[in-house]
Amino acid sequence: MKRISSSYLQAERTVLRLLHGRETRTRLTQIHAYFLRHGLDQSNQVLAHFVSVCGSLNRMPHAARVFAQAQYPNVILFNAMIKGHSLCGPFERCLDLFSAMKGRGIWPDEYTFAPLLKSCSSLGDLRLGRGLHRDVLVAGFVRFASIQIGLVELYAGCAEIGDAQKVFDEMLHREVIVWNLMVRGFCRAGDVEMGLEIFRRMSERNVASWNTIFSCLGQSGRDREALELFDEMRKQGFEPDEVTVVSLLPVCARLGAVDAGQQIESYAESSRLLNDFISVGNAVIDFYCKSGDMEASMRKFREMPRKNVVSFNTMITGMAFNGKDRQGVKLFEEMATEGVIPNDVTFVGVLTCCSHTGMVDRARELFASMSMDHQIEPKLEHYGCMVDLLGRSGCVREAFDLIRKMPMTPNAALWGSVLSACRTHGDKELAELTVKELINLEPWNSGNYVLLSNLYAEAGRWDEVEKVRVQMRGRCVHKVAGYSAVG
């Protein structure tokens, strides 16, 4: 047996101490260089610790380069790589590593399966998850708590709540995390009442438990119950965190509960959540935008120590829906000076602002800049904004041509917008073409045939009116009560 020198062991201890020190994040490359220099590049213990730290710092590409140089990786090193990718992605890599591990004849242990199940849950891959469940049963690891939690997370996340319940019922000790998963699973499966019942049955809760039920109730339109439970949470001595604030402020906005929203904002400010988390600041400005208080929203926006593209998007969209459209366009221009790169949501907001104010030339410039300057391919929503603006401004032919040139199939709302503009501006020729496009898109919709028939009747084209009626009969389309055709 090869004898390990004391200097080797000392170097190994030094690396492990450095890996778990305060400055690891900034010294990762130097630590890597140190263990290479001291011949520790094949120490599975060192490599496993290094990979684990990379996973916690979201530096898995660096971990992958180190792992690739390992000649004889063991189960501990494979587990570290699988766990790192289960946290940081790509999640498919976990399954590739599992296959490579088995290909080397390395048998998984109890620490292998929990991150694999988490990856399947993140991917929403129920088939692979069930396969792993079978492997767990064969290996005899089904009683390990981390694996049971992974199975509950997989099945609850995939809305297979019956399977999740079965694993849950078999657990001898249920931690708070697994109760939270069951609450979320029932709500995701549409059974909010059962989710609430599970929540009520919990003997122990944490802040995540409350956040889970707030989110579930909010998504189910049960906003008032969410706000009532928030009062209960505070009475029980739980301190809200940033997720609580971000979950409840939209609830307050939808309910018009301005006082409650302001109290939550006040707490976020006094607890420094507002200062420490951009997501909280974004939730606050969104709350004020949706409450119609643009002055307060802008004040909070200006006070934010850090902003991201969501911050600007929230304000620009808020301005578009609160009659501050020109300010919205100006704020878009301010993004460049602050070094914030717009995304597709930004352009929906600013184009809506342009539409409301009739800024046709500016909208054309912005629309063109999406692909030319920002490499953002316009989506249906962007075309919708442009068509609406052009139609409002009397550029009906341009709106019609823009729809025709779209790379995706236009929907009825777009053609309906053009038709409305045709009526407003008296373009009967284009209205006829537009209604024909609507008929091609919705051949079952009797209202479109009635519109075309009426257009022909107004122009005295009675032969065409009769052709429309024949077309309707041929396609077995029946006029809906409430529509009327002339003639």
Number of domains in the chain: 1
What percent of the chain stands above pLDDT 90? 70
pLDDT for res 421: 87
Q: How far from the centroid of its chain's Cα atoms is residue 349's Cα?
A: 18
pLDDT for res 485: 41
**Domain range for 336:** 307-367
CA–CA gap between residue 322 and residue 290 (Å, rounded): 9
Please tell me which residue, 293 or 19, carries the higher pLDDT value. 293
Per-residue pLDDT tens over the stretch 431-460:
878 778 777 777 776 666 667 667 767 767
CA–CA gap between residue 445 and residue 455 (Å, rounded): 17
Residue 349: inside a domain, yes or no? yes
Residue 217: inside a domain, yes or no? no
Check: CB of residue 346 under 8 Å from CB of residue 313. Answer: yes
Residue 134: inside a domain, yes or no? no
Residue 315: inside a domain, yes or no? yes
Per-residue pLDDT tens over the stretch 405-415:
999 999 888 88
Q: Is the pLDDT of residue 426 over 80?
A: no
pTM of the model: 0.81
Residue 189: inside a domain, yes or no? no
pLDDT for res 302: 96
Residue 195: inside a domain, yes or no? no
Please tell me which residue, 45 or 288, carries the higher pLDDT value. 288
Per-residue pLDDT tens over the stretch 302-355:
999 999 999 999 999 999 999 999 999 999 999 988 999 999 999 999 999 999
- What's 195-233 look like in SS3? HHHHHHHCCCCCHHHHHHHHHHHHHCCCHHHHHHHHHHH
pLDDT for res 448: 65
Please state, rounded to an integer, the average pLDDT across all residues of the chain.
Answer: 89
Per-residue pLDDT tens over the stretch 99-119:
999 999 999 999 999 999 999
Check: CB of residue 233 under 8 Å from CB of residue 247. Answer: no
* Segment 85-111 mean pLDDT: 95
Q: Which of 167, 161, 241, 163 is nearest to 193 (CA)?
A: 161
What is the pLDDT confidence band of residue 476, given thresholds at 50, 70 and 90?
low
Least confident interval from 51-65, 106-120, 238-252, 432-446: 432-446
- Alpha carbon of 386 to those of 53, 343, 364, 401, 402: distances in Å? 49, 17, 8, 12, 9
Q: Which of 7, 21, 9 is nearest to 45 (CA)?
A: 9
Residue 257: inside a domain, yes or no? no
pLDDT for res 28: 76
Residue 324: inside a domain, yes or no? yes
